[in-house]
Chain A
């Protein structure tokens, strides 16, 4: 499968901070490898040689997790899957090795517990950026449309910042300045939620390097508060 060439917008230190890079000095045993491959074969689309959306659907049924669940996204992240809706053999192997799963029940258990993987902040940031990346389906695409952004925000950030996400999504839907956002703007959301207290907006300084959409969002919030 042709890998789309991208400039280094993907965080390059992901390999360092990735919690899945557990020290694994030992090579997987032949058996384990085989079982992983067999699992792959059970979902693969024979003509493509990849697991396609149908296969993923089947997987989701087996592990009893909805395909819109954040854990599937985390799963894709673990695999470092490049193309949305498809898993290659290498990616599959990578993912399952990380999870230490080589049978269906083990896989099911592992995926169920995936949301705990994000506890470490560096991991979360990496995952957060990945989530955006994953939505860039076309070659040379640099931005993701607002609709998708809103969905993504709900999936990825809602558990940690429920109020903020709701407000931001509301704003994104009413504003007209942007139809789509780039990675830089996406990242700025998380940073904003982390660093700025919504109850203390007076201290927000728009002369700093916040993205314009965040500046506008703060203004909108302030207006809303007044009314």
Chain B
């Protein structure tokens, strides 16, 4: 075959002509056709350049390189760039973006076409400037208008479905025909337009979702907003408000305490599941739940609830679980010491009147409380439980003693260590003869066991079984010691006036509690009481209840007093170690130290500081009245 030598110049000419022709074609075509043409020409061009550089490889390698001139394929690129790309880029871009928008609207488009065209931009190294910027702006506009439309028309769940869908598609788009670096920016734009701009309206929707328990939609909401910085804060806030509202509603409808607490537990469980499932255990939501519960958790209710559970029976596991949950609720109560006091009082009653269902349960809950709140919280109560175990042993020995000494009495005594138990009023009841004997006997017995201990009898807590010989039939009455004493008086007299009773028993007004002696409902000093021979009941044995005593006020008073001491102690402790401290710092540290038991009131702290100044523990600094000095 003839070798045809081709002039370099001629080659150049050919190339020029080819390109000019190309340009002409491109100018005439539009949109998709233009793109196709462009694509085809570009591919062809690349092939041509490749072949050319193979043809001229020798020159390329030895001639051009030596002269620091660009190699042939570089030139080829540059040519294309200057002669074609610069001219067509705007139109190409517009065309591509139009295609993209069409695809967004649901039309099928030729993705590989777009990919190739986009590649041109990439290879021209102009991807970002010439293509991406515009594309992103267009995307933003597109979604802005969509969002404005949807937010009016769609419900919140549907809107979010659409949003999620859009995001998914955009990501897909990137993998198919855009440069991977675009993904992040693109997604941000879409999120911004769809989720951030209309966040407020969507949040209203969240409220509805929470109300209607739409778990799926809530999960979606979480997924969507999680990617947005600070996106979850308002959602968590709405969540908190919702839970708080529900809890407060429960409190207001409050029936009795135990059902209230059960409802709290249910509420807590329900929303904890939400936190775990929908909100994937995110700390923000844990915090929201916690803060919500702190607002409405009621301390007295919690103590009463524990009381109820431990009183009755029930299967072991159920109880243990419920106890667990109640103790968790405790974390939300800020005045733990108040709760502790109530609990202690009720525990005392349970233990003393043997109403506790199960000692193991009592121990179990104490262990849990200890874990939650520290040893200080439970030390007294543990002492109480121990006392009871000791008391039982003691009682057995006493019964032995009784048998050995044949006194013919039936007496059970529980000896308590004063420090552990709540303080009870002891009074000088004039015991009837029969009871006096019992007391004496026990005293003797106790002396044999331990010396140097003082026994104080708390009759207000005692119970007595009395056999009442009524005319119809004999009935056994279970009464308190005071009631028994009153009744026994009637052994010697048929009728007694109130003041006589009081005198005989040596009691004050508050102590005398009348059982439901027939014919009396209220009491006045001149009322007389008569033993009703005809009293009867179908039961053989009746328990006569004591009128209920409201301990709440007393407990609150006690706790307040304890708190004052606690604050004093904390202030002195802090000042002793720091010697000099500013007021704000002091208050802060005080609150911190006492936080595990209760939340001290700033004013209360101030008052205690004043008191300590008067007592010369502290002084206000002369130079700086906002600072205090410790006085040794």
A interface residue numbers (CB < 8 A to B): 7, 9, 11, 13, 142-143, 182, 184-185, 187-188, 191, 207-209, 211-212, 215
CB-CB under 8 A from A191, the residues of chain B are: 625
CA distance A212 to B606 in the complex (A): 6
- Smallest Cβ-Cβ distance to B603: which chain A residue: A212
Q: Considering the chains assembled together, what is the distance between the CA atoms of A207 and B587 in angstroms?
A: 9
Query: With A7-B616, A184-B620, A215-B603 given, is the CB distance from A208 to B626 under 8 Å?
Result: yes
Q: A142-B614, A182-B614 are in contact. Are A209 and B603 (CB under 8 A)?
A: no
Is B614 within 8 A of A143, CB to CB? yes
9 more CB-based (< 8 A) A-B contacts, given A208-B626, A209-B626, A212-B610: A7-B616, A182-B610, A184-B620, A207-B587, A208-B584, A209-B584, A211-B606, A211-B610, A212-B603
- Complex CA distance for A198 and B115, rounded to whole angstroms: 76
A-B contact pairs, 21 of them (CB 8 A): A7-B616, A9-B616, A11-B622, A13-B622, A142-B614, A143-B614, A184-B610, A184-B613, A184-B619, A185-B610, A188-B625, A209-B582, A209-B583, A209-B584, A209-B620, A209-B625, A212-B606, A212-B607, A212-B610, A215-B603, A215-B606
Chain B residues with Cβ below 8 Å from A207 are 584, 587, 602
Residue of B nearest to A125 (CB): B622
CA distance A143 to B625 in the complex (A): 20
| Shortest CB distance A186–B (Å) | 12
Q: Which 7 A-B pairs have the closest CB atoms?
A: A209-B583, A209-B626, A182-B614, A184-B613, A212-B606, A7-B616, A142-B614
CB neighbours of B584 from chain A (8 A): 207-209
Interface membership of chain B positions 575-593, coded 1 if the CB is closer than 8 angstroms to chain A and 0 otherwise: 0000000111001000000
Which A residues are in CB contact (< 8 Å) with B631? 7
Chain B residue contacts of A7, Cβ below 8 A: 616, 631
Q: Interface extent on B, as a size class?
A: 20 to 34
| A208-B603 in contact (CB<8A) | no
B399 → A minimal CB distance (Å): 57
Bound CA span A185–B606, Å: 12
Q: Measured between C-beta atoms, what is the minimum distance from B320 to chain A in Å?
A: 45
Nearest to B604 among chain A residues (CB) is: A212
**Distance (Å) between the CB of A220 and the closest chain B CB?**
15
A66 to B: closest C-beta gap in Å: 33
Residues of B within 8 A of A209 (CB): 582-584, 620, 625-628
A143 to B607, CA, bound (A): 15
Shortest distance between the CB of B609 and any CB in chain A (Å): 8
Question: Once the chains are docked, how many angstroms separate the CA of A209 from the CA of B607?
Answer: 11
Chain B min CB distance to A112 (Å): 32
Could you say which of A7, A13, A184, A187 has the most chain B C-beta atoms within 10 Å of its C-beta?
Answer: A184
Inside 8 A of A142's CB, which chain B residues have their CB?
614
CB nearest neighbor in B for A7: B616
CA A184 to CA B627, docked complex, whole Å: 13
Chain A neighbourhood of B602, CB < 8 A: 207
| Distance between Cα atoms of A185 and B603 in the complex (Å) | 15
Contact of A182 (CB < 8 Å), options: B613, B625, B628 = B613
Near A by CB (< 8 A), chain B positions 277-319 give none
B583 touches A208 (CB 8 A): yes
Instruction: Report A41 CB to chain B, min CB distance, Å.
Output: 39
Cα(A187)–Cα(B620), bound, Å: 10
For the complex formed, measure the closest distance between the CB of A159 and the CB atoms of chain B, giving whole angstroms: 24
- CB 8 Å contact bits of B594-632 with A (1 = contact, 0 = none): 000000001100110010011010011010011110010
Chain B's closest residue to A12 (CB) is: B622
Q: What mask results when residues 418 to 443 of chain B are scored 1 for a CB within 8 Å of chain A, else 0?
A: 00000000000000000000000000
Interface centre among B583, B610, B626 (most CB of A within 10 A): B610
- B607 — nearest CB in chain A belongs to which residue? A212
* A182 to B613 Cα, complex, angstroms: 9
Chain B proximity of A70: nearest CB distance (Å): 24
Minimum CB–CB distance for A178 against chain B, Å: 10
Q: CA of A7 to CA of B613 in the docked complex: distance in angstroms? A: 12
Least CB distance, A194 to chain B, in whole angstroms: 11
Q: How far apart are B417's CB and chain A's nearest CB, in angstroms?
A: 38
CB closest chain-A residue, reference B582: A209
- Docked complex Cα distance between A142 and B620 (Å): 15
Contacts of A11 in B (CB 8 A): 622
The distance from the CB of B554 to the nearest CB of chain A, in whole angstroms, is 23
Cβ contacts under 8 Å, B625 to chain A: 188, 191, 209
CA A143 – CA B611 in complex, angstroms? 11
Kindly state the separation between the CA atoms of A112 and B52 in the bound complex, as whole angstroms: 121
For A212, what are the chain B residues with a Cβ–Cβ distance below 8 Å?
Answer: 603, 606-607, 610
- Name the A residues within 8 Å of B616 (CB-CB): 7, 9
Per the bound structure, the CA–CA distance linking A191 and B616 in Å amounts to 21
What are the residues of chain B within 8 A of A182 when measuring CB–CB? 610, 613-614
Distance between Cα atoms of A9 and B619 in the complex (Å): 8
Complex contacts, B613 vs chain A, CB 8 Å: 182, 184
* Bound-state Cα–Cα, A9 to B614, Å: 10
User: How distant is A189 from chain B, measured CB to nearest CB, in Å?
Assistant: 12
- Shortest Cβ distance from residue A73 to the other chain B in the assembled complex, whole angstroms: 22
B-side contacts of A187, CB under 8 Å: 620
Q: How far is the CA of A9 from the CA of B616 in the complex (A)?
A: 9
CB distance from B263 to the nearest CB of A (A): 38
